Structure 1
Amino acid sequence: MGKTNNQLPKNYPWILIESFIKEKGLIRQHLDSYNNFIQKTLQEIVDEQGIIETSQPGLYVKLGKIYVETPRAREADGSITEILPMEARIRDLTYAAPLHLTMTLVVDGEKRGPVKAYIGDLPIMVKSVKCPLSTMDEKELIEVGEDPRDPGGYFIINGSERVVVIQEDLAVNRVLVDVGGASSSVTHTAKVFSSTAAYRVPVVVERQRDGLLYVSFPAVPGKIPLVILLKALGLESDREIVNAITDDEEIESELVPLLVQASSIRTTEEALDYIGNRVAIGQARSLRIEKAQQILDNYLLPHIGNRPEDRRAKAYFLGQMAEKLLELALGRRNPDDKDHYANKRLKLAGQLTAMQFRAAFKQFVKDLRYQLERMKSRNREINLITLVRADIITDRLKHALATGNWVGGRTGVSQVLDRTNYLSTVSHLRRVVSPLSRTQPHFEARELHPTQWGRICPVESPEGQNCGLVKNLALLALLSIGVDESEVYDLLIGKLDVIPIMSAREQGIKGSKVYLNGRLIGVHRDGEKLAQMIRRLRREGRISYEINVAHYKTEYIDEVYVN
């Protein structure tokens, strides 16, 4: 060992750090995130919509591929010219590129050829894939009047440079358990923010002093007993309900009072009627049941799915929440720490722009539907290119970036780039903002947490009311973009011998529980072996380097987490 040390130059850590920064850059996170939005998410948002239906039978529009051109500006004489960031800054223009969408009009089963319509302008991030500067070398940058050292990673709106600041948030779709207040009737809670691309819904399971469990979520007023909700989701027998929650005998005995409480409600239909009585008061029984089914499909744990066949998976997820809650109540695990960085996620420019674009695109679709119906009712010839209003998407995106007012009521998401000097610019592009209120003490949230080591700079935070809520990334911190969950699921179930949770519980198979992104997906007979196999695949480059795995084993708990 001593010999190897002698051969390394004294300043080798600095050589490593310098090459890391040369390769990755200091603001790679914004560019990677935005590029992912342009190349992948944009098309996904269009595909989510897929078809624009109208109230007129037989009249609809099929949406196809979306194209992002290079940044352009419209001149006073109506001509369109390509522009570079410096011209946009000097002439107070917005650095944006036209979006084109292929659409096919269908009238009474007859397709009227695909047309490529201009649907608006998308602000382009400086030095992203769609920006010509990203392919230029130092000499070319100097020739076009750009600063070769400028890192990029910001937008230019009406000539002013604006940064979309990284937003820190609690991790969604993860169950966090906590102890209730000393004075309240609730002793323990399990909470999850179930989030899809479009909206997020908090779902809470509470344990009362008498040992009963209740579920509450915004779509249904009041609290619903857990067992009744599981029956409404299609688990009719007590055995099925216990299987969905646990395979541990001590926890099973805790479930007896819950099953007794709901014993008067025997079938799924009765359970749906119980929920329907809260949401559709005074309506016919069939309507109440239908309304309850709609709510369970769309507003209960939407991240698992919104089809009737997803109800069983939702029941198992609620069972997983209940089991974690009872383990906390029995002293088998500790409450989750909200400030632990594993329970946090950072939202970057790409995700935030995607949220804003999704809202703008929804409005665009609504307007196009209205225009189509109007033309049809007047029996006019329909021409998609003239019907499309391009200013909807353009204005909404531009307005959000110009003011910092984002979808979901967030303010200050985009800020004017700090150009005091080079360091202040880089620092601003690596800033992380927490959404907590500035005026309340929040001591725990402001404190330096051990898990921030190597991720968040321990020194750079303002004094005063923002202290500890406005942070900055550490120099060598890298942010992942994420991997498609379904690929990892197929790998675990298909190749790595994980037994799906439903079959494992029915057959009474026990072993290490396997969690994928916080959701219990199955059981493996040897958790340590599974963790080693995943690490080996990652080191061989057969799965993404962003996939993490950890195996936790205590006297009571034996779990493998894959993120």
Structure 2
Amino acid sequence: MEKLSRIHVKSFDFMLRDGLKRMIKYLPPSEFSSSNGDVCELRVECRRQGKSYCAPLRLNIRLSINGISASVLDVPCGEIPIMVLSRSCNLSKLSRKNFPRHSEEEREIGGYFIVNGKERVLRLIIMARRNFPLAISRPSFKKRGHGYTEQAIVIRCVREDEAVSIMTLHWLMNSEPTLAFVVEREQFFVPISIILRAMVNKTEYEMFDDIRRGSGESLSLEETAMRILVRLKDEDYNSQSRALKYLGRLFRGRMHIPPNASDEEAGVVLVRNFVAIHLDSLIDKYHLLCLMVRKLHAFVSGQCCEESNDNLMFQEVLLPSTLYLQVLRAKIIQILDGTKEYVLTKSRKSNVKINSTLVQQYLLHRAPEISASMAYLLCTGNLPPSIRSDITPQLGGQSTGLSVPADNVNFLRMAAQFRAVHRGAIFTEMRTTSVRRLLPEAWGFLCPVHTPDGAPCGLLNHLAEPVEAVCETPKQSTVDALAVWLSTCKIRPVELSRQLSGVTEEQNAIPVLLDGRLIGWSSSLATAEQLANHLRDLKLNAQSKHVPYSMEIALVPPTDVGSQYPGLFLFTGGSRLLRPVKNVRHGEQPEVGGLIEWIGTFEQPYLDIAVTEAELFERAEDARSHIELTPEGIFSFVAGLTPYQDFNQVSGYRCVVTACVFI
């Protein structure tokens, strides 16, 4: 029972345990200057009485005046819905055999909310893979402005608190890329040259070397690098300080910064909080942008193929905790901004001195809106109107169909809802069929038969029975420690210039990326293969302190034709889909032994996985690496209950109708 709703419950537990702390860590302070210069009910009761199963939420807000802590305000925000069987649920403290004593079902699944007596489920929705630059071609990109082309590199940056920012690197007809990013709900386009100059204080030659690094003697890439540097010279942005001042002067009115901050400080806030937000260091942001320039050039010149948003290889799932946290965060920020405007208005009109009473008066009035917004999200499945414009871009345009009523017609329909993944409500009205296709990369992750007929066909799919999702996003300090350890594994440091090393990253050098951060270079494909095998060995070792079992290790080799951009891509973030296979390269008898390895959607296309033992033995002994645990593992939990699938009386499995399942 617990396995069916494990993804929902574990993600919500992570949000309660770590997600709220990370959200508070990254909440921007609301700074301004005045005119004068200065216990839960059991859920069965909630269902019968039409109530919501909630827990109280309180905010502790520290008020500082002139840099001196004035007070800590305790603000009650009402009650917010709690997921059944999560760590904050009363049932989580009881054993299942005691459930009937409290009028509960012993085989309770959990994973849903109770709002106004109704059971609601937050959907698992397909999203673009986080922190990975995608090569995308869209005709709409040409409408962005004069000289824009269809080609661009798009990256969905996700910070450890699940805040999302979309960056797009456009290719222009003059061979000079332009970076598009969002600042306070508005998209801006800035030449990549100014952003690169604002990131680091390097010489022009060092920047030229960083842009073309790893691409061999590509004359066209050198020309692109020269165009970037020429703009810096023509516009007189020949230092990091000048570029930061220029950006700060342009964007300071759009950001939440103190009025007394300088233009240069405003520029630092811009590049830190709105450009590649998943990275803390400016030098890491700089090298990621250089990599995106190289990939965009390879894409335009035909050395790199287009990557589809509809391919599960480049997708992840929106977990219930992520959506819950994003709505909660947006509402808190809105109330803090409203407090700022209220206090400033009072100060201007009546020259009232800022004090804790004035601030708390407004907070007590607005704070209950938080609980109302959370209830609105779960009741209607739509984003609250007051924050819809803030969150919709982060969800890829999704604003409706985020929650659905729990289907209690029978147990199988109820169980299937927790394993369902939806492409998104906005795709139901599209006439194109590309979003509905089940591509080969989805093998073993999405059930090929469990999808409804009619309009949602291909949009509403179900996870295969063994598939799980990574519900916990590692802390930034954990990722930093892993990056430091990886730098000791025969990887050429990313900041080691050719003047110091005496070597040049030629065309066969392989970039190594960890969660969207360039951490170094592998000198050759053979060296990269050795590193990937070493990491996979540590991944299978339960005693390993550095490599988690959920890490994706995908080595994309360079080819003579335009295929995927080469590199060693490592992923440890949350929301990724994983499934178990057997690694037969371990054990004294590989065909008998082996260890269970969890693989992701990105690395699967680059692994050789046999379905049966007969297929495994057809391969050369040194080519045997993985085998499926069971051939039936491609089906969903409900589809796997259908007996004698090859002799079924209908052409398709009716997976959610109990009558077709003979037990």
Please classify the TM superposition score into its range, dividing by the shorter chain length: 0.7 to 0.9
Work out which of the residue numbers 192, 195, 209 in structure 2 matches 1:243.
209
- Structure 1 residue 289: Cα displacement: 7.7
For the Cα contact (< 8 Å) 2:141–2:150, is it kept in 1? no
Q: Distance in 2 between matches of 1:277 and 1:151?
A: 55
SS of residue paired to 1:168: strand
Q: Decide whether aligned partners of structure 1 residues 381 and 198 sit closer, same or farther in structure 2, where only a CA change above 3 A counts.
A: closer
- Structure 1 residue 363: Cα displacement: 3.4
- Matched with 1:443 is 433
For the Cα contact (< 8 Å) 1:105–1:114, is it kept in 2? yes
Q: Distance in 1 between matches of 2:402 and 2:132?
A: 25
1:434 aligns with 2:434: no
- Matched with 1:361 is 332
- Matched with 1:519 is 517
- Structure 1 residue 404: Cα displacement: 1.4
Work out which of the residue numbers 463, 466, 475 in structure 2 matches 1:484.
475
Q: Distance in 1 between matches of 2:551 and 2:479?
A: 9
Q: Distance in 2 between matches of 1:154 and 1:319?
A: 44
Work out which of the residue numbers 498, 501, 507 in structure 1 matches 2:494.
501
The code of the aligned residue for 1:532 comes to N
For the Cα contact (< 8 Å) 1:246–1:252, is it kept in 2? no
- Matched with 1:231 is 197
Q: Greater shift after overlay, 437-446 or 499-508?
A: 499-508
- Structure 1 residue 42: Cα displacement: 1.3
- Structure 1 residue 116: Cα displacement: 5.6
- % identity of equivalent residues: 23
- Structure 1 residue 192: Cα displacement: 1.8
Q: Greater shift after overlay, 348-357 or 199-208?
A: 199-208
- Matched with 2:20 is 42
- Structure 1 residue 100: Cα displacement: 3.6
The code of the aligned residue for 1:138 comes to R
SS of residue paired to 1:356: helix
For the Cα contact (< 8 Å) 1:191–1:202, is it kept in 2? yes
For the Cα contact (< 8 Å) 2:212–2:222, is it kept in 1? no
- Matched with 2:169 is 205
Q: Deviations over 1:154-206 (max 9, x none)?
A: 00011111111111111233211135659966263222233445764433223
Q: Greater shift after overlay, 31-40 or 530-539?
A: 530-539
- Matched with 2:651 is none
- Matched with 1:551 is 555
- Matched with 1:299 is 274
TM-score, length-normalised on structure 2?
Answer: 0.68
For the Cα contact (< 8 Å) 2:71–2:356, is it kept in 1? no
Q: Distance in 2 between matches of 1:113 and 1:27?
A: 42
- Matched with 2:536 is 535
Q: Greater shift after overlay, 456-465 or 371-380?
A: 371-380
Work out which of the residue numbers 457, 467, 486 in structure 1 matches 2:457.
467
1:29 aligns with 2:7: yes
Q: Decide whether aligned partners of structure 1 residues 485 and 457 sit closer, same or farther in structure 2, where only a CA change above 3 A counts.
A: farther
Q: Decide whether aligned partners of structure 1 residues 249 and 365 sit closer, same or farther in structure 2, where only a CA change above 3 A counts.
A: same
Q: Distance in 1 between matches of 2:277 and 2:360?
A: 35
The code of the aligned residue for 1:441 comes to R
Q: Distance in 1 between matches of 2:195 and 2:482?
A: 32
Q: Distance in 2 between matches of 1:368 and 1:183?
A: 39
- Matched with 1:323 is 294
- Structure 1 residue 484: Cα displacement: 3.1
- Structure 1 residue 280: Cα displacement: 9.7
Q: Distance in 2 between matches of 1:108 and 1:178?
A: 48
SS of residue paired to 2:130: coil
1:186 aligns with 2:149: yes
SS of residue paired to 2:465: coil
Q: Distance in 1 between matches of 2:170 and 2:31?
A: 41
- Structure 1 residue 478: Cα displacement: 0.6
For the Cα contact (< 8 Å) 1:235–1:312, is it kept in 2? no
Q: How does 1:10-89 map to 2 (within 5 A)?
A: 25-49=3-27, 55=33, 70-71=39-40, 83-89=41-47
Number of residue pairs matched by the alignment: 513
Structure 2: gaps of 5 or more residues: 143-147, 254-260, 393-398, 572-663
- Matched with 1:413 is 402
Q: Distance in 1 between matches of 2:92 and 2:141?
A: 59
For the Cα contact (< 8 Å) 2:52–2:114, is it kept in 1? yes
SS of residue paired to 2:496: helix
Q: Distance in 2 between matches of 1:109 and 1:119?
A: 27
Q: Decide whether aligned partners of structure 1 residues 58 and 494 sit closer, same or farther in structure 2, where only a CA change above 3 A counts.
A: farther
Q: Greater shift after overlay, 370-379 or 83-92?
A: 370-379
Q: Decide whether aligned partners of structure 1 residues 555 and 450 sit closer, same or farther in structure 2, where only a CA change above 3 A counts.
A: closer
- Structure 1 residue 333: Cα displacement: 3.0
- Structure 1 residue 270: Cα displacement: 6.8
Q: Decide whether aligned partners of structure 1 residues 140 and 351 sit closer, same or farther in structure 2, where only a CA change above 3 A counts.
A: same
Structure 1: gaps of 5 or more residues: 1-21, 61-69, 72-82
Q: Decide whether aligned partners of structure 1 residues 403 and 246 sit closer, same or farther in structure 2, where only a CA change above 3 A counts.
A: same
Q: How does 1:76-475 map to 2 (within 5 A)?
A: 83-102=41-60, 118-179=76-137, 186=149, 188-196=151-159, 197=161, 200-209=164-173, 211-218=175-182, 224-234=190-200, 237-247=203-213, 248-251=215-218, 253-256=220-223, 258-260=225-227, 262=231, 263-266=233-236, 267-268=238-239, 295-305=270-280, 310-366=281-337, 377=352, 382=357, 388-389=364-365, 390-406=367-383, 407=388, 408-409=391-392, 410-435=399-424, 436-475=426-465
Q: Distance in 1 between matches of 2:324 and 2:539?
A: 31
- Structure 1 residue 237: Cα displacement: 3.7
Q: Distance in 2 between matches of 1:535 and 1:189?
A: 33
- Structure 1 residue 411: Cα displacement: 1.1
Q: Distance in 2 between matches of 1:483 and 1:327?
A: 32
Q: Deviations over 1:533-554 (max 9, x none)?
A: 3222222222321112122323
- Structure 1 residue 348: Cα displacement: 1.2
Q: Distance in 1 between matches of 2:409 and 2:290?
A: 54
For the Cα contact (< 8 Å) 1:493–1:499, is it kept in 2? no
For the Cα contact (< 8 Å) 1:187–1:208, is it kept in 2? no
For the Cα contact (< 8 Å) 1:117–1:384, is it kept in 2? no
Q: Distance in 2 between matches of 1:297 and 1:492?
A: 20
The code of the aligned residue for 1:560 comes to L
Q: Distance in 2 between matches of 1:275 and 1:550?
A: 37
Q: Decide whether aligned partners of structure 1 residues 228 and 394 sit closer, same or farther in structure 2, where only a CA change above 3 A counts.
A: closer
Q: Greater shift after overlay, 408-417 or 329-338?
A: 329-338
Q: Distance in 2 between matches of 1:88 and 1:227?
A: 58
Q: Greater shift after overlay, 373-382 or 487-496?
A: 373-382
> What is the CA RMSD across the aligned residues, in angstroms?
3.9
Q: Distance in 2 between matches of 1:106 and 1:439?
A: 50
For the Cα contact (< 8 Å) 1:104–1:113, is it kept in 2? yes
- Matched with 1:75 is none
Q: Decide whether aligned partners of structure 1 residues 94 and 493 sit closer, same or farther in structure 2, where only a CA change above 3 A counts.
A: same
Q: Deviations over 1:242-268 (max 9, x none)?
A: 222222333355322552553534514
Q: Distance in 2 between matches of 1:341 and 1:560?
A: 19
Q: Decide whether aligned partners of structure 1 residues 404 and 221 sit closer, same or farther in structure 2, where only a CA change above 3 A counts.
A: closer
SS of residue paired to 1:551: strand
- Structure 1 residue 295: Cα displacement: 4.5
